Structure 1
Amino acid sequence: MVNNKPIGIFDSGYGGLTVFRSIFKQLPQYDYIYLGDTARAPYGNRSFQTIHQYTWECVRWLLKQGCPLVILACNTASAKALRNIQQLDLKGQDPAKRVLGVIRPTAEVIGNYTKTKEIGVLGTKGTIQSESYKMEIGKFFPDVKVHQQACPLWVPLIENGEYDKPGANYFVKKYLDQVLAQSANIDTLLLACTHYPLIQQKIAAYLPANIKVVSQGDIVAHSLVDYLHRHSEMEKSISTGNTQRFFTTTDDTADFDHYGELFFGAKVQSGFAEIKC
């Protein structure tokens, strides 16, 4: 069965599959198409211009597949490309199509998790440098203090299958020590990268029992449920064939299928997506 009007989900690599897994669990009736730009991952240390270019090329590919709605299940892309795509790039497309990110839905609720009003945000260098979480959380929870920590080695460790090895422990503890050194009052840590749920248990093992670790999958899924409820015209435009298709920008899809299964929690069989500049 061919997806006529699927929901598009994009990430620079595999991480967005953790968000997709939560979305599919809550909204299994729709058609979906996932695109991971594994040929050019990771995005975390790239420039604003490059991240915007790569993200828009992938979003445009998903729009050409018939997607009326695209979710940027990537914090770096949401931080550095979403606004330009929404305000500028989409103007030349069908005005009814929409692109959403993962930062705003998370910022809208993260303040509800903390009792001390101090949280730590763990993310890629690009996400942290953008200050997007500080700005967005400040809009909804001006009384919450946000401490940020870039974790540049976590994504490479995860995407190279080294995250569960003993050698990864040093780098997990290193960045946790750095963020907790910023304040003794932090009681909530936000995993502001969709890759990080794969090391969530390892992260929790190095933390005091009073610190909560929050990942984004269920938050983004709940937000999408609410969005579709409030935008019935969009909800009606999405096809309901209960299908999922996966694509990668790497022509050898074997690695994507292997690691994709770890992130998605089910067997993944991907195809090659040729992204043209």
Structure 2
Amino acid sequence: MVKGPIGVFDSGYGGLTVLREIKSQLPGYDYVYLGDNARAPYGSRSFETIYQYTLQCVEWFFKQGCPLVILACNTASAKALRSIQQLNLPLIDPSKRVLGVIRPTSEIIGHYTYTNKVGVLGTAGTVQSLSYPIEIEKFFPSVQVFQQACPMWVPLVENNEYNSPGADYFIKKYLDQLLDQSNEIDTVLLACTHYPLLIDKIRAYLRPAISIVSQGDIVAKSLVDYLERHPEIESKCNKQGNSVFFTTDSADDFNQKATIFYGNSIQSEHLVL
């Protein structure tokens, strides 16, 4: 049997926060990470553009021998995952799998709230897709979801300004807009993999009683469960503990900024798709 690495995809750097959590729980597996930095950010792009970009990257992962690809990007999960699963996978290779970050989060977010009022912070693309309200309703019909797009947060993080005083203005602005929708929100989901880097400042502008939920640990635990339930996929995953990194933009820039998200220095390769 030919085995391959688990693929982890993001439009840029944020997925590294998910990969870090996955590796902490599944350290023995091989991983290949791709950041499509040259075409980032995805958050403001159209459904069709995001779908085409994501499909192109998924096909690249499959060419690297990946039996399983994780879309560690909320925007790609919201706007491309379902189409890829339903339209493309049956034609490309029905034995391979592509998973996202929205469903694992939606399956458990209702357990965090007592008021049944949940706030979702995400990119414009994720918010406009309505993926979270739709998915959360499937599992928790009584939970009311309030969404807020935060278009300035990703640029703040990627330009290493997330700890600057200037970041406070935009963090408070979007949180105020979210909480203005309901004063009963008691759980806030960070529905973008960049946002955990802002969590200290986010916490400063929220009431102490409000729970903040980030996705890395949730997605990692969901993957552990998935591999246990699907031995036919797990058996195709290589296990030598290796990780390699690719970016469609400058490898030097990626290596420098990746440390912010990943916690360790990495050496990436430039990829032309």
TM-score range, shorter chain: over 0.9
Paired with 2:248 and 2:32, the residues of 1 have a C-alpha distance of 14
SS of the counterpart of 2:98?
Answer: strand
Paired with 1:95 and 1:210, the residues of 2 have a C-alpha distance of 45
User: Does the alignment pair 1:69 with 2:65?
Assistant: no
Paired with 1:94 and 1:188, the residues of 2 have a C-alpha distance of 39
Look up the match of 1:160: 159
Q: Report matched runs for 1:223-262 at 5 Å.
A: 223-250=222-249, 252-262=250-260
1:173-225, Cα deviation, whole Å (9 max, x unpaired): 00000000111110000000001001011100111110011000000000000
Q: Report matched runs for 1:212-231 at 5 Å.
A: 212-231=211-230
1:218-243, Cα deviation, whole Å (9 max, x unpaired): 00000000000000111111000100
Paired with 1:139 and 1:91, the residues of 2 have a C-alpha distance of 25
Runs of at least 5 residues in structure 2 that lack an aligned partner in the other structure: none
Look up the match of 2:44: 45
Runs of at least 5 residues in structure 1 that lack an aligned partner in the other structure: none
Q: Give the number of equivalent residue pairs.
A: 272
Look up the match of 1:182: 181
Deviation, 1:148, is 0.4
Contact 2:3/2:236 (<8 A) preserved: no
Q: What's the Cα RMSD here?
A: 1.0
Look up the match of 1:114: 113
SS of the counterpart of 1:162?
Answer: coil
Paired with 1:53 and 1:220, the residues of 2 have a C-alpha distance of 24
SS of the counterpart of 1:116?
Answer: coil
Q: Report matched runs for 1:128-147 at 5 Å.
A: 128-147=127-146
The one-letter amino acid paired with 1:146 is V
SS of the counterpart of 1:121?
Answer: strand
Look up the match of 2:85: 86
The runs of at least 4 aligned residues of structure 1 exceeding 2 Å deviation read: none
Paired with 1:12 and 1:272, the residues of 2 have a C-alpha distance of 14
Paired with 1:71 and 1:274, the residues of 2 have a C-alpha distance of 20
Paired with 1:190 and 1:131, the residues of 2 have a C-alpha distance of 14
Paired with 2:7 and 2:270, the residues of 1 have a C-alpha distance of 16
User: Does the alignment pair 1:267 with 2:265?
Assistant: yes
Look up the match of 1:124: 123
The one-letter amino acid paired with 1:156 is P
Paired with 2:135 and 2:94, the residues of 1 have a C-alpha distance of 25
Look up the match of 1:195: 194
Deviation, 1:4, is 5.2
The one-letter amino acid paired with 2:69 is V
Paired with 1:270 and 1:141, the residues of 2 have a C-alpha distance of 41
Paired with 1:156 and 1:43, the residues of 2 have a C-alpha distance of 12
SS of the counterpart of 2:16?
Answer: helix
